[in-house]
Amino acid sequence: MWDVAMADKPVALRAANGSGKTQNVAAPLILWHCACFPNSQVVTTAGVYRQVKEQLWGCLRSHKDKLGAGWSINQTDITAPNGSRAVGFSTEDSGKFEGWHNDHLMMIVDEGKSVSDDIYMAIERCQPERLLVMSSAGTTVGEFANAFLTRKSFYSTHTVTSYDCPHLGSEWISTQIEKWGRTHPLIRSMIFSEFIDDGGVGYVVARADIVNCLEEPPKATDGVPLVFIDWAAGGDENVMAFVRGNKLTEMVCWRDKDTMAAAGRAIAEINKRKVPLDRVWADDGGLGHPINDALATAGVSVRRVLNNSKSYDQQHYANLGAELWYDAARLIQRKEVILLDDETLIEQMASRRSTYTALGKLALEKKEDMRNRGLGSPDRADAALSAISIAHRVGNVYDGVVFAEEDEDTLSDDQLAVLEETMSGSFAGL
């Protein structure tokens, strides 16, 4: 706050999640600036409008009764009795920033890692007297990261870890590190305020972790077989990833435009490996949904997974697909799973970039963006990592039932006949 007040350089603050940077730094600075500089202007922004309205301005509104006569605080607007004003908004249109001019202009960028470089350049054109950019740490890409790396000489920088925040508690910190691992991206950002650097770009699964896991695999533990099916679309691969205990035992991969034949092939592979039908998971997005519907009609009710659905840990992950990838990545990093030495699988696992939502949640690089980089759909990685994560979560117990070798269920000939008849109608014309 002193560095902001001195206005020698822009100030960059990267702080642990829950550290209180909005409440204890941004809000007091806004009120101080409005009170001390008559007719001044404060402009605040963030990656999303909700961050501005609910976080920063919610905190400012809590101080309304302490300010005295003449102050007005609305949802995202403050006016002071001396003519000063503060506003908050969010936009991806850099042109909307260029109209802010004042001899005493202060700008605050909250969750700066989610703000585009175009916005930072527009802020430069406004020539603010004081500038504070703050955020939890993310990848090493973008102006916020550059403030601590390549452009560090242009900023006064400050780093706050969880250990600097007594209210977070050492027990909570220790629990998070034990749960996720010291080098997990979530811990590096959330606890230690570290940027994630992997050749300049953060990846969900680090290639080095895959190599280490292959070279130093854990001791095998047996268990009931489990399979995850990633159904193909647009000529991609159908992939079945089989896990038993802590081992990814094999993958069955094939291309087939005949959806009925693809489902029949999957059932044959399940029967061949005697996978209990209670331990069959399948992607339910796109073409997967009608295939799974047909299987259910035939008596094969697979456990459906929709990657875009809500994650179990909604605080940290953008959706379920991201949670499955990051969870499996943590197991690989800890060398708790035995991987297949499959070149295509390794390339796919190591090629998907780690991203963040505007609210700072871990997300996956979109497949469209991967295609723009010349990469195909990571079908094998989707299936393998989902199977690894699910197997780790449910172990040999699901819905309270312990599966034993003699309890393995497979489809009878009559069930297969029903399946064929049902699917021949369901996929007519596809």
Query: Exposed, middle or buried: residue 272 (CB in 10 Å: 0-12, 13-18, 19+)?
Result: exposed
**In which residue are the tokens 């034990």 written?**
178
> How high is the pLDDT of residue 300?
80
Instruction: Give the angle subtended at the CA of 115 by the CAs of 113 and 118, to the nearest 5°.
Output: 130
Q: How is residue 203 written in tokens? A: 């990846």
Category of 142 on φ-ψ map: left (φ > 0), alpha (ψ -120 to 50) or beta = left
> How high is the pLDDT of residue 31?
95
One-letter identity of residue 336 = E
- Residues forming a β-bridge with 338: 247
> What would the pLDDT profile of 43-54 be if each residue is shown by its tens digit?
998 877 777 777
> How high is the pLDDT of residue 424?
41
* Strand runs labelled E in 179-277: 226-230, 238-244, 247-254
Question: Which residue, 423, 116, 401, is CA-closest to 279?
Answer: 401
The CA distance from 224 to 243, in Å, is: 8
Q: Are 145 and 112 in contact (CB under 8 A)?
A: no
**Local confidence pLDDT in tens for the 430 residues of the chain:** 999 999 999 999 999 989 999 899 999 999 999 999 999 999 998 877 777 777 888 888 888 888 889 999 888 899 999 999 999 887 666 666 767 888 899 999 998 988 888 889 989 989 999 999 999 888 777 899 888 877 888 999 999 999 999 999 999 999 999 888 887 778 888 898 887 755 445 789 988 788 888 888 999 999 999 999 999 876 789 999 999 999 999 999 998 877 777 888 888 899 899 999 889 999 998 889 988 888 887 778 889 999 999 998 888 899 999 999 999 999 998 899 999 989 899 999 999 999 888 777 899 999 999 999 899 999 999 999 999 999 999 886 544 443 333 334 455 555 555 544 444 433 332 2
> How high is the pLDDT of residue 95?
66
Question: From the CA atom positions of the chain, what is the Rg in Å?
Answer: 26
> How high is the pLDDT of residue 234?
65
DSSP letter for 317, please. Answer: B
pTM of the predicted model over 0.85: no
> What would the pLDDT profile of 3-27 be if each residue is shown by its tens digit?
999 999 999 999 998 999 989 999 9
**What sign does the CA torsion over 186, 188, 193, 196 have?**
negative
The CA distance from 116 to 100, in Å, is: 18
Torsion, Cα 118 122 124 130, to 10 degrees, reads: -110
Domains of the chain: 2-190 (3.40.50.300), 207-426 (3.30.420.240)
The CA distance from 322 to 308, in Å, is: 9
At residue 395, φ and ψ (nearest 5 deg) are 55, -135
